[in-house]
Structure 1
Amino acid sequence: MFSEKCLILSLLWTFYLCSAQDNVSPVLTCPASVNISTTSIHATANWIITVTDNVDTDITATCDLNSGSLFTIGQTIITCLASDSAGNLGSCTFKVNVVDKGNPSVQCPGVITAETGSSNQARVVWYPPFVTDNLDNNLVAICTPVSGVSFGFGSTTVNCIATDAAGNVGSCNFRVDVIDNAPPNITCCNDIYVGKDPIIWLVDVHWTYPIVNDNIDISPETTCRRYAHHEEANQPAVLDVGTYTYACTAKDSAGNSATCTFVIAVINDSVSPTVSCPIDMHVKSSGTTVAVNWDDPVVSDNIDIALSTYCSPSSGSLFTQGLAVVQCYSTDDAANVGSCAFQVNVTFVEDHVDPTVVCPNDMSTSTTSSVATPTWDVTVTDNVDAHVVATCVPNSGSVFNIGETTVTCSATDTAGNSDSCTFKVTALFIENGGTGEDDDDGGDDGNGGDEDNREVEDNTEVKDFTEDNSENDTSSVNLNVIIGAGAGLCAFTLLVVLLIFRFYYSYKKELLKSRTATIDSIGTRTYTTPISDDTFVRYAGYEHRLPNSDGLYDSVNLRVPSTTYADNHSYVSVDDN
């Protein structure tokens, strides 16, 4: 009996267990996200998904892409699913982020060599560096300095940088070498010809070092040697009769060199210079002595140039009455002496005539300080003396205070005759950089001339006066009035005249607007009234525009179409458009 009960209970328990249902889905645990970086175009991503279930213990999740798959740069969403034996489905999602960490590859050119030429710089151009990237295309490298600029002498490093869309930076650099291949510019002195006294064995010849310029070096090394000699040339050169060639070479720090030559010719010279004196001079004087001046004699030589002369007595010396002989000499480098002579004849003249002193007209000068320094010229003529000089008090160029100053100029000839003249100098103070002009017409108005001729310069202001009368349907009149500084009364008068004209014009238009004419019959009707320029005559929707004119029309002829107006009571209105 007991065994039958146990068997029944076992069967019932087995039936309960077999009849129970599983409605719980598996639980999947995904990573929050998978973040990886790459220097290529893709990367491998790995992850672990855990699955738990209330019944099953060996459930495996299946994802869109398996762990260990290759992912391109960017973001990918992964979904994973798992089901238990009862068919319950669970899922989870996560993101795989692949970040670009690959720097662009930038390939620079090699060393670029450029020559300076005649300047100390060279313009250098290069092709853009070649740029490649794991993801981005058409990247451009930016170089500093840029291609096409001028580089100074020496070596300069050029840095080039390229940046991709992810902010990764690639770079390279190269060197620009600017070398100096331009030789110095050297200019030797002119050939030198020296005459030597035949009784002298050797002669000293002074020569000038060449002028040297270089595009880089300030003072290139320069040496001069006599041709076929190794030693450096002496200064001065001690030479016998003959022709000698000298070569001068300039060399810069880059090793570039240039050479020029010149010749020194030493000649036995026994020919004296030719000296040409002034013609004989006749001078009148009213005194016991007189200063006599003349031009230097002209000298020429078979070898030497620019020889000097000396005379006895010298030009400007005092001569007494009577005849005197002036002897002039010139000596060349070979000690050959040339000479000439001329006469100075001083004649006494009794002089009782005063010289004539001519002063300038009264003058004015302007200054922005407290003093002025005007200048002027005074002319003196005399019946005997050729060089009489006037003395002024104050002198020309002296400091003058603001105001009026009288200047007195006087002159005395050798006979003691004298003359004088006076004029006035007015110094004007101009404030804030004002301008004033000197005038020689004797005006004393402080501005160098007649007051009526003065010019006043000032800025003018243009004002626009616009009046509108919309109620009467009249056009506005824009008046541009130029109001100058200091012309207020003139502007006011002009404004009153323009306002009167404006009201008259508006009143006239109102009269024209209100007038009508009756057409008595079909045909032509003459309407007489003052009609202004640019006026329309309207009738029954038709209008006739009067031609433009500078004056006023006395009348207008209106022709009415017969098909439009058959009655005798039509009206024609005349108004201004």
Structure 2
Amino acid sequence: MTTKSALSQHFSISQASLLRIGIFIAFAALVIFPLFTVSSASFYQRASAGKPVDLAANSVLSTNASRLSFDSARSAIAPFALMPQATPTPSIATFESTCVTPDSEFNLGQEVCATATNTGGSAANRRISWVDPSGFIRQVTPIAADPQDDHFTIPTTPTSTLSNGQVVNNIGNWRVNIISSRSSLVASTGFVVKDPANATADLSVTKRAPSNSEQVAAGSNGSFDIFVQNSGPDDAATVTLTDHVPNNTTFVAMIQTSGPGFTCTTVPDGLGNITCTIDTLATGASATFDFVYTVNTGTAAGTLIINTASIASATTNELNNADNSATATASVASGGNTGTCTLTCPDDIVTAANTTDGNNNPGAVVHFTPTSSEGTCGTVTTDHCNDCFFPLGTTVVTTSATTGDSCSFTVTVTETGSNVTISCPANQTADADSTCTATVTVGTATGTGDNVTISAVRSDGKPMYDCDVNGTNCTRRSTDDPFSAGVTTITWTAYSHDTPGPYQSVADEESHRTGSASCTQTVTVNDVTPPLITAVDQTVSADANCQAAVPDYTNSVTDNCSCAASDNSQDCIGQHRITVTQDVPAGSLLGPGAYPIHLTANDGSSNNGGAGNTTTKDITFTVKDTTPPTIQCPANITTSTDPGLCSAVVNPGTATATDNCDTNPTVAGTRSDGQPLNATYPKGTTTITWTATDHASPANQSSCTQTVTVQDHENPTISCPANITLEPTCPSGAIATYTAPVGTDNCPGAITTRTAGGASGSVFPIGTTTVTYTVTDASGNSASCSFTVTVKTPQAVIQNLINSVSASSLSGTQKNGLLAKLNAALDALNKGQTNVACNKLSDFVNSVGTLISHGDISAAQGNAWINSANHVINTLGCTNNPCT
């Protein structure tokens, strides 16, 4: 065999061996790799809930070797562990508070149920942690069963203040995780918390200069990439993206390249801004844009092109203002774009010591992925060899390019471990106060080992340590939060480390751990306070059936720890319930009277050998008749006065009444004029007030009113004097006198007035005048009467004289002489010869006077003729005597 063939054969055998070894390694990796879980500082809790996280909440797997952590729950590898096995995968999901209906969206103040399955039970030493949108752990619960439910009540306010004073959001994307005893992530799920009263969104904008626009020559186009997103939890309304045109540039275009459609301006506004708007940017929606510009000609090389964009909603609350604006920078090149250098170092590496150097110092031979370069970098060198020895501790490895660019990563070698011991404080027992809690001094566990730190987790999730902003270097609190009634378990854990603290981060602390030990302490708080019965003596009114129902006094009991039997609020889930008995059952119907009621309440606590704490109380329940009778008045009455009277005899009837408790209430009526009900009713309206009174003590009364109206419809009476006839005594006529009539009425207050003609003693004209008198009573009824006053004409008076003379006993000669004068006067008067008529009448007067003196006629007869003649003469104006 030649050397060459021998070498070939050796090479073939080596290849086959290597191939077999490679297949075995690949198979072993497939089996062993699931035994490792991602070590996430975001879920590490050194002392308690409320510590910051370093890993994004939605990261469940990482290929970063420095972040891989061995899950202690799987550390005992059986001899057949390398064989393929069907191991159930742990999982966790969220439900509404009863743990029945799946749900991933909740409001402030609601209770969330998380159900963890395939947990491995208590043997796996795992926990359930609740992480808020800011990355702080709010609650940790040890897993003791498979499956296991865990409840968490979301705070009622949009923000909370942690024990370290930091204010964190309660609105947004939460996560609930299964974590190992080393705080590595085993399983995770998310849920959203909203504020129904105030829509809230988390808008963000990022931007960068793409590689071909990091340097732009003057006169050339460049661009910036813009990415906007709404991370929720609610849709964002009236969203505006604003991008300011950089100095030394001219705007070319804003081009949307993905996402829901925005409306963008095409010309910068007065402030040099380009805006893009959209009515609604839904939760989870994102969009990308290219902002294209031209570098102004003559811009000096090296000038920075600084571009800033911002995003905001006009109406929706913003959850995080820190990411609402972003800035990117490019520079001006003298010519076309120049090359750039980008170096990418491998992730930090943490490994255990596995060898020693020539001086017997412990360490490890570490392989790392060489640094990659992109662009024009020149010579790239790394200051530490690969696959070489690294000592215990952390070594910084730096890669540099001739362009001056560089990057670094760390290699940390830890000790293989050291023995750790821990001793818990004694179990504690205390009595609950009025708030169902007790302040208990529990002490602190002690431990032994290298660089030991102690942490504690209370089963109620309340913190016992205060840590720095990195969640490390924790200090035991001087006073613990109060413990609720019941048993609270404190799990104390001691960790040994290869180096003493302080540590830079949770990941830094974890990387230096070399061992751990745990123990548990219990704090028992007994409820020794009996319930408080707040019911007091009560007086109620009887109902329409003269009864009242006994109230349910069982809801008048409170307790410092236990909940009412009817309280189904989230705070009362799993709490003891108060039992209350009352010897007169609620709802019993009782009539008027006083009734004793005995109440007994028990808080259902474990005190008194499980019999609980008991309180009794006696109260008096009194039923009173406070309902007035129902009364119905007779109908109102309207009638007329009796004839000739200003009143009427009326029968008003009687009111009727009923009562809820009294079958025969008393009814009485009272007139407004104080007269008896059977007395006559005067003209006008008389009110009768009817009152019904029951026999309760004190009595209840009710009233109604009835009116009796008596109206006067009877007319008054009046009688006028007889008609009057007069001779005229002056040119105007004659004075007539008469007695003015006065009317009478059945009711007082009638008034008589002259409604036509002249008054008595006034001058009435020649002719006939009607005089009318009207009487009107107070009710508007009226009556009238009339008579006439007739004043004769001068011709009629002369004619009457002619008739009287003709009928007298004078001789024919005497009559003819007088008649001749009278006829001459009448004829002259008819012809309008007033003076002739007056002269003839004067002759008549003289002749009559002669006859009287000779005794031919009586003085009475003659003077009557003379007066009539003189009346005519005066009426004709021949004399000027006054009217009579």
- TM-score normalized with structure 2 length: 0.19
The structure with the largest strand share of the pair is: 1
If each structure's helix is expressed as a fraction of its own residues, which one has the higher value?
2
Larger radius of gyration: 2
Taking structure 1 as the reference length, the TM-score comes to 0.27
